[in-house]
Structure 1
């Protein structure tokens, strides 16, 4: 439906690199709106270089992006008076930003979402975003999974289907020769597996010395990315052939020179498919929810180390594509749902989905804030909550490891696309202060 009364003003609120990229591309695909982005200062906030890379190819310019402290966010939004905000960040970030939005009158329509492949549908992904007016996902399969998860958890969050915004079909303009590897912070998990993967990449470079192996990284030294990385590939590949190189350019640029892409489970595989670049989804470390690669079942993309070294890339099946990220764009209803929500809000027919008071009161709110803002939170309450909460958090994580994630709909259950048990991994509570450029 159309909205009367001029262009809608839409503000994306983000911090980390993958979410800045997602929000920028998502809003860039919507015509006839006034779009802005505000970056909240947290330990994960993108550097200027990361911002430019994440927003490359969109209509966002530096003038469209503001950087604000968390405590100034409500005031900034009250002055901007957006019709819609898109909160683009990890679950804890969404929760603390929603507290600021609850202070705004009139309250904008709140949209949240996931920045890429979201199979399995995870408990935290939904529960942290339960007070949003619309939750955006990017495939029919994800829609079914999150509907199933919401029903099992008793969470009422409207789901909107979008086309993955940075995976639009593109006709390759040249024949590439690079093997592009999309590095991930979390996958593989162990030091041994990451060393084995580094050895595979080294062997691929040695097998074809006239062609490059390009390790596409998300962060330069001193920068942060969405998830904390242990055993980085620059460290693991200090001893490498001359044709094995690192790149920080946008993925779209890397794919322009690619013969094929290798990943374990990165959303970069979807970007590559959209560009007509063949893929190997590496299954050397297993296919499991824990490796976030069960989404590739039935795609025909799985391959092992020998396939990578021999560069035996492959294209996915059409049936898999239709269910996973390449549905007909006409089925993507998220923006029409947003327009309807704005109209209902203006007519006073849309209840505000305010956050309830959480158990633990002010101390719990201080903990939530400190866990997201880190050193950017300088309050006494945050310091007290951190001192009290860290031992409690460690005890809970230890108990979770002992109890495990077993049973139906857990991380170990291969028969479903959902997990109702908590996340397997937790990033460090506090990160080092990154370099700001």
Structure 2
């Protein structure tokens, strides 16, 4: 009971994550909230952050100095932990299958929290799988007006209704204090570009940039050290491709904010680090050497004023964004970021019994399919017999189905609403992810 003059108790918010980019996103997202009680759960999966990755992800948040607010837990302990803690809001921060698996665990709770999920970076094109796997969450957070429109339209097209909420990228807040620097920082990506030849081409561009001015550094910013894992498995890493680099070409595993502190400019193909850099006042080159293609995830930079060539990189001709592009893409008015207001309203509705639970149904393959899904997310951390059996029996069938969908290709890309593909439709895909590894 609340008495006159007393305050409502602070809402309890728990983020649950595993992989580095998602942990960073969730920690910064809820760290921006005032007057809440917060905790971060790191669930053991093959992608779970190492201690070094965790420290980098939590840099510049209150979690960095409040390690008692961060817990590592086994998957089997998640339900008991949540039942004991009784959070008002749970933020699910992981790849799409992780979100669905954790949603099933939340379904087991007697006192159900409001479930929020989201994507940790730029999300154009909007992907069908990213939305499908989050359809049983109460709220999905994205980070630009363009993404809100893309996911809303995708949902209408495939018949998935999930409330879409807008937030500023939490680790890309505008900075008014910048001393400037001399480093060319390259934000490496695990999945983009995919081919070894393209990655070797980038390595050569960086080498040429280093040779062009030996007095200034070229910093290759990596997210994982040898032996660590990321949300996505890297092939043809730059430490291998740049073995005989000039002395002024160096590697960094520091938090991106630290790398940007000494940056003259940032180069990337399509990393969200571009937005983090722009927010910090660091100009950017979005490398267009390989064109603008879905599998490069760089269509978002069209008309941004940021696209540049290999020659631009070597000459360090960095760019600032077109203001009209920026307003639509990630630099909207902070007052429009209403995701937390929406989440609080959902908490109030749930307390009043007016917000029905979005329960994850059993998969069409029954218990065997559910066991395979658990095994797919947890890997060796799932020690159940059913998981091992499902892995042997179901995996080949799933692989064959995915291959069939990929062979069908663009036939599924025609909008269900009819008509031809227009600019808005190009902001989402109905086909599987254009990358060899799903990114949602």
TM class, shorter-length: over 0.9
1:390 to partner: Cα distance? 2.1
Q: Distance in 2 between matches of 1:216 and 1:11?
A: 30
1:78 match: 83
The change in CA–CA distance for 1:405 and 1:230 in structure 2 (over 3 A counts) is: farther
8 Å contact kept, 1:180–1:262: yes
2:321 match: 316
1:175 to partner: Cα distance? 2.0
2:385 to 356, 365, 380: 380
8 Å contact kept, 2:13–2:91: yes
Between the two proteins, the alignment pairs up a number of residues equal to 424
8 Å contact kept, 1:141–1:324: yes
Task: After superposition, give the CA deviation of every residue in 1:251-285 in whole Å (9 maximum; x if it has no partner).
Answer: 00100000000000000000011011000000001
1:358 to partner: Cα distance? 1.3
Q: Distance in 1 between matches of 2:299 and 2:204?
A: 24
2:432 is the counterpart of 1:422: yes
Task: After superposition, give the CA deviation of every residue in 1:228-268 in whole Å (9 maximum; x if it has no partner).
Answer: 11001101111100000000000001000000000000000
2:19 is the counterpart of 1:9: no
Task: After superposition, give the CA deviation of every residue in 1:349-371 in whole Å (9 maximum; x if it has no partner).
Answer: 11011111210110011010000
2:22 to 19, 36, 41: 19
Structure 1: any 5+ residue segments left out of the alignment?
429-437
The change in CA–CA distance for 1:370 and 1:4 in structure 2 (over 3 A counts) is: farther
Q: Distance in 2 between matches of 1:426 and 1:12?
A: 28
2:281 match: 276
1:425 to partner: Cα distance? 3.1
2:216 to 199, 211, 215: 211
Q: Distance in 1 between matches of 2:47 and 2:437?
A: 12
TM-score norm. by structure 2 comes to: 0.94
Structure 2: any 5+ residue segments left out of the alignment?
1-5, 416-420
Task: After superposition, give the CA deviation of every residue in 1:170-201 in whole Å (9 maximum; x if it has no partner).
Answer: 12431200000000000001111011111111
1:406 to partner: Cα distance? 4.8
Q: CA RMSD in A?
A: 1.5
1:266 match: 271
1:32 to partner: Cα distance? 0.4
2:58 is the counterpart of 1:48: no
SS of 1:152 mapped into structure 2:
helix
The change in CA–CA distance for 1:93 and 1:407 in structure 2 (over 3 A counts) is: closer
TM-score norm. by structure 1 comes to: 0.95
1:405 to partner: Cα distance? 3.5
The change in CA–CA distance for 1:233 and 1:409 in structure 2 (over 3 A counts) is: farther
* Match runs of 1:92-171 below 5 Å: 92-171=97-176
8 Å contact kept, 1:172–1:256: no
8 Å contact kept, 2:117–2:140: yes
